Structure 1
Amino acid sequence: MQHYPFEGDLPADTSSVTILFNTEWGLQVCNPHSEEWQYVPPARGTNAIVNIGDTANFLTAGRLKSCLHRIVPYLDHWTRGSRYAIIFFLRANNQVEFEDLEGQRWNAHNWLNRKFLNYRSPHKSSIKGVVYAAMVLKTAMGPKVEAALVLDKVLCDISLDFFIMTSGISAVLGNQGQANCTEASCAAVNSFLDFLALRHRRQGFFACSLALSMVEDAGVVAENNIIADKLALKMPFGIDEREMLSGFESAIIQGASSGNAVQLGDVQLILGLEPPAMLEVMEGLDLSDACWYKDERMRPILEELEALATLMSKTGGLEGLESFTSKLVGLSSDESLLAIGSHIMERSARIVGAQAGDFQYESIFISSYGVDYVIDVELHSWLFKEIGVQVSIQVISGTNTAFAGLDRIISEHLGIV
C-alpha cells in the first residue's frame, strides 16, 4: 500500500499499464504540447483510469503513448487529509535497454532518472533542504553514488537552506588489518560525498558531509542486540537520538556557503569523537587494541585525551592506552605466559564478536574459532601492531597452534622465556 500524504507525492512509472480506480482528485498529467500539468477527473462507479507506462510505449513502438503523471493535492476537491492506494507494478529490470522513437538507447534506470527531472516544476520552490542518508550494504557503493549524483543534478539550480550528506564514523576511522570490502566501499563513498560537498560549497551553495557515530536508541542498532554488541567492541562511542538531531543542527550551521576559500575540513563534521565524552566512556575499558588507537589521524584527539586525564588527576595517562608489554615487567615466566595468552584470547573474542570465556586456552587450535581465516589474518596484523612480533599466518592457522602455544612463541620473541 502506498500512502500519499496531504503534501503530495511525485510517483514515477516505467511499468506497462496501470489501472486506477479512484474517487479522489489528485492525479495530474503533463500535456505533451503545452508542457503544463492538468488534473484528471476521478473515475466514478465502475469506471477506471488506464495509464500507459513507458514500457508499453517502447513495446508498441510509440503507438500507445505514455505520459508524465504525478499526485498533487487539489484543495478544491481534496476531501480527506490523506490518500491511500494499493499498487502492483510490473516493470523492466533496471539494466534492460530500450530504443526510443528518435533512435536513442536507454536503460530503465536512466530513463527513470530522466523522468524525475520533469517533476521539479512547480514543486522545486517548496524544497527547502535535503538530508541524504542512503545506506551502503556490502559492496553496493554504486547506487549510493548514482543517487547522490541524481540529487546533485536535480537540485543544482535550487537555493537550499541545507544539504546534508550522512555517512558512518566506522568508515572514517577504518579497521586496520582487515581487508573488508564493505568498509572499503563505505570509505570510498564517504570520500565521494566529502568532495561532492566541497564542490557545492565552492560553488556558493550549502553542503555538509556528516559522519554519524552509532545511534544507540534508534534504528537497526536499537533493534538488534547482536549488532549493537559487535559494534560496541570496535567503537564504544555511541550517541542517542537527541545527540543525532543536535548533530544535524550543527551540520546546518557548519554547511553555510563560504566561497572558493573553503577547504575539505570545512565541509566535514564528525560526530561522536568529543574528547570529554570519550574519556567518560573509556573509563575502565581496555582499548589498547582499538583500530584507531595508533592511527596518526587520531593523534590530536589522543593527545587531548591524555591532557584531560592529567587535569582530572588520572596519573599515568588513560587506562587502556598503556603499552601491553610494559604490563609484563616484574612478572615471572609463567605469569607472563598466562598474561600473553589471556590478552590474545580477549583480542580473538573481539574479532569474532564473542566472549573470551568461550575460548579454551589449550587443546583447541586457534583457527577453529574463525571463519574463512578471518581470525588468522586479524591476529597476524594485530600481533605486529600491538606487540611488534611477526608471526606468520601459517603458524597461527596451524592445526597444532593453540593459545597456549602461541603465547610461548611470542614470549620467545620478547626474550621472556
Structure 2
Amino acid sequence: MKITRVETFLVPPRWLFCRIDTDEGVAGWGEPVVEGRAATTRAAVEELSDLLIGADPRRVEDLWQTMTKAAFYRGGPVLSSAVAGLDQALWDILGKSLGVPVHQLLGGAVRDRVRVYGWVGGDEPSRVGEAAAAQVEAGLTAVKINASGRVAPLPAAREIDAIVGRVEAVRAAIGDGNDVAVDFHGRVSVPAARRLVPLLEPFRPLFVEEPVLPEHTHRLGEVVAATTTPIACGERLFSRAEFLPALQAGVGVVQPDLSHAGGISEVRRIASLAEVYGALLAPHCPLGPLSLAASLQVAFATPNFLIQEQSIGIHYNTGAELLDYMADRSPFAFVDGAIERWEAPGLGIEIDEAAVRRADRVGHRWRPPVWRHPDGGHAEW
C-alpha cells in the first residue's frame, strides 16, 4: 500500500481537515489545525506531504519519526499540529486496512464509555448558572466555564468576587452530583492564580485549568502548592518534553490536544508519562469531529483517562457545527453524560466528503479576539 495524495480542506467555523489517499482505495482523515493559524498549518501539511507520497501509510511510527525529525528545526504549534492531523489519518488508514478500531491497535479497550463535558458561558461568561443547568438537563454530568473574561493580571476585589460568584452559581445550579471545571485560560498572573484558586475550593471544582501561561510552567508548582484543587494544563504544550516540567510541578490533569500535540502517537505517550506521575488524562478538544474521534480512541484505551472535552454547541461554532460534517451522527450520541465505545474500523466515524468539499469552497478566516485593558495595554485572551 502506498500514499498517493494528501489533501486539505479549510472548513468553517475554524477547522482544517486532511485526507490521505492510497493506491488500494483506503483513505484516512485527520484534523491538523492551529486555531487562528489554519492557513499556516495548511502550508505545513503540504510541505510534510513530500515525505509521505509514495510511502506505506501503515508504518505509522516510522512516518511520525520522519515528519517530526527530518528537518533541522523541530516542534512548535504549527509543525506539531500538522503532524497531529496527518498522524490521525495514518492511524485511520491502518485501522481500516485491518478492519479494527484504533483503540484495538493501542492495546484494546479499558472502558466501555467515555465521560464528556460541555462548555457554558462563552469567552466572557454570563448567565452560567442557567446555561449549566440546561446542559445537565440535556444529559451531561459535567460542564466547564471560563473563570473570567478580560481580567487584570492582579484582579481587583470586584473581579475576584465575580470569578468566585460564577463558580458558586454553577455549583448551585447543577448540584453536588455533577461536576464543574474552571478554565483560567492563562489570563491572570502567577500571584493572582495563587490567590484565586484557593477561593474556589468550597465549590469543589473537578479541576482548574491553565491558571498561568505555558511560558510560566516553571512557576506552576507554586499554584499547585497553594490549593487542594487539582490543577490541569496542556492545551499549549506539544510534546512529552514540554509536559515533563508540568508533571514535575505536580499538576493532576494533563490536557494535550490530539490536533496539536503530535496526534494519537504522541498523546498516547504523554498519557503514559502522566501515569508515572499519578496524573490523569483529559484531552483538550474544542475542535471538529476528527479531533474528537481521535481523542475518544485514545480515551478508550488509556487507563489513566479522566474526562473528554467536546465542542458540540460551543460558543466558537458559528456558521457550522461539529455534526454537520458527519455522514452518521450516531457515534457521538450522549448516553448518561458519556459517549459509548464503538467498534467501527479506524477512527470509527464516517465523514461526509461532499459536505467537506462544499465547505472548503467557502473556507474561513477565523481569528481569536484581541483584548485590551482599560489603559490600552494588551490583555490575555
Give the TM interval when normalised to the shorter protein.
under 0.3
- Choose 1 or 2 for highest CA Rg: 1
Report the TM-score when normalising by structure 1. 0.20
Report the TM-score when normalising by structure 2. 0.21
